[in-house]
Amino acid sequence: MELNQFYFKMPGLKTEPIIDDSTLRDGIQMPGLAVGPKDAACIAKLLSEVGTERIEVFHYQEPDKQAAKLIIDQKLDMRVAGWCRAVKEDIDSAVKLGFNEVGISHPVSDIHFQTKWPEKTREQILANLIDVTEYAAKTCGLRTFVHGEDSTRADWTFESKLINGVAEAGAECYRVCDTVGIGLSDVGAPFPSGIPAKIVAIKKETKIKTIEIHAHDDFGNAVENTMAAIKAANGVWDKIYASTTYLGIGERAGNAETEKIILNLYLHYGVRKFEGKTEKLKQLADYIGHATGFHVPPNKAIVGDYGFAHESGIHTHGVLNNPWTYEPYPPELVGNQRRLTVGKQSGKGIIKHKITEITGNEPDDAVVATIVDKVKAIYANGRRASLNDDEFKKILQDLKIIQ
């Protein structure tokens, strides 16, 4: 069977989705994670190779500055933006390091205004943001995005005014940030949390040139909300940026996973620019895990070690005869591999397969039955984990099947 039998069925998107990865900014804000400059540069290179077209990075502490310089000096086929607060000193730092573009993060909800600047009016807060945006875009000549922090809890009348203000100041793109993950993907969901409604309204009611979605995963809906934004932009916006992090790492419950958005766009929506790039998705996941200290869950979709692991009798029997029975796409497509393991639920099929794999000879039914009994006895004594290859070989050695 081929992928075309199941995938590439949706009509082509009339908007261009662009992956804007924030692993080296939002991702490494996750408690307990850290990444050195050289590893950051390697991660950036791999992100470029899997189809990321823009990334954003920190540039405040000295290691961040070193990482930014290493990344920029690689001259990757990918845009690199400096993440800034709405202060001119941050813009100056970005210019000094050689960034050509910046993202200015700024709250847009009264919840944040009243907590962070209780002494200021909305108008004073907006005036400062417009001033810094104009400084970045017009004075410094930087390609400028504005990130609307907490957009899904913002008053739309004020937010639309803010978007128009930064657009006139020179901002190219406005990022809808679902900062606490309460956004709703339903096309009928109202403001402020209805993401599709907001994507459409920003096009109709503001002057900003481009849109972006940045979804957090507090309800487990970050991928759903990101895809909902892309679908809402279809036929409305020429392009939409999807701000994601690899493996979904980030503050609290994290973000929409870069690898999930890429694979959904490629297989389900036929975004062909990712063709030939998905094979490195697993490699990048493993590298990020190694470089940051993040433990990649083995059952993580697409890139987890157990993403294509089979142990139960029904599943292994099916996969041994036809992988499509229990695999949605070939593991090689994402750089992963099939793993057939022996455990408590294993049946004769996988046992026979493992013996043949190790010895090079197909065993008779009596040998298979004997080893099945040996395996069951191990698990009857409370074993939980799958048997690794050395443990399975030890059973064969004890029975004189191999030396």
Confidence band for 311, pLDDT divided at 50, 70 and 90: confident
Confidence band for 349, pLDDT divided at 50, 70 and 90: confident
Percent residues over pLDDT 70 in the chain: 100
Asked whether residue 315 carries a pLDDT value surpassing 90, the answer given is no
Asked whether residue 271 carries a pLDDT value surpassing 80, the answer given is yes
Of 357, 370, 379, give the one whose Cα is nearest residue 398.
370
Q: Are residues 335 and 202 in the same domain?
A: no
CATH classification of the domain holding 88: 3.20.20.70
Confidence band for 403, pLDDT divided at 50, 70 and 90: confident
What average pLDDT does range 274-299 have in this prediction? 97
Are the beta carbons of 42 and 16 closer than 8 angstroms? no
Is 67 inside a domain boundary?
yes
Answer with the residue of higher pLDDT: 344 or 42.
Answer: 42
Answer with the residue of higher pLDDT: 400 or 160.
Answer: 160
- Which helix (H) or strand (E) is 84 found in, with range? strand 79-85
Identify the domain containing residue 336 by its residue range. Answer: 309-398
What average pLDDT does range 338-367 have in this prediction? 87
What's residue 320's pLDDT? 85
Is 166 inside a domain boundary?
yes
Confidence band for 99, pLDDT divided at 50, 70 and 90: very high
Non-local (6+) Cβ contacts of 139 within 8 A are none
Q: Are residues 281 and 322 in the same domain?
A: no
Non-local (6+) Cβ contacts of 96 within 8 A are none
Q: Helix or strand or coil: residue 151?
A: helix
DSSP 364: P
Asked whether residue 219 carries a pLDDT value surpassing 90, the answer given is yes
Q: Are residues 146 and 222 in the same domain?
A: yes
**DSSP β-ladder status, 54-57 and 16-21:** parallel
Non-local (6+) Cβ contacts of 180 within 8 A are 150, 152, 153, 216, 218
Q: Are residues 263 and 316 in the same domain?
A: no
What's residue 47's pLDDT? 98
Confidence band for 381, pLDDT divided at 50, 70 and 90: confident
Burial class (CB in 10 A: 0-12, 13-18, 19+), 270: middle
CATH classification of the domain holding 369: 4.10.430.20
What average pLDDT does range 269-276 have in this prediction? 97
Q: Are residues 245 and 328 in the same domain?
A: no
Is 81 inside a domain boundary?
yes
Is 64 inside a domain boundary?
yes
Q: Are residues 13 and 68 in the same domain?
A: yes
What average pLDDT does range 90-100 have in this prediction? 98
- Using alpha carbons, list the distances in angstroms from residue 342 to 32, 276, 372, 379, 395: 34, 33, 10, 11, 12
Q: Are residues 268 and 354 in the same domain?
A: no
Q: Are residues 222 and 108 in the same domain?
A: yes
pTM over 0.75: yes
Q: Are residues 266 and 134 in the same domain?
A: yes
What's residue 347's pLDDT? 83
What's residue 136's pLDDT? 98
CA count, 13 A, side-chain hemisphere, 384: 0
Q: What does the mean pLDDT of the chain come to?
A: 95
Domain count, the chain: 2
Of 225, 229, 104, 257, give the one whose Cα is nearest residue 166.
104
What's residue 293's pLDDT? 94
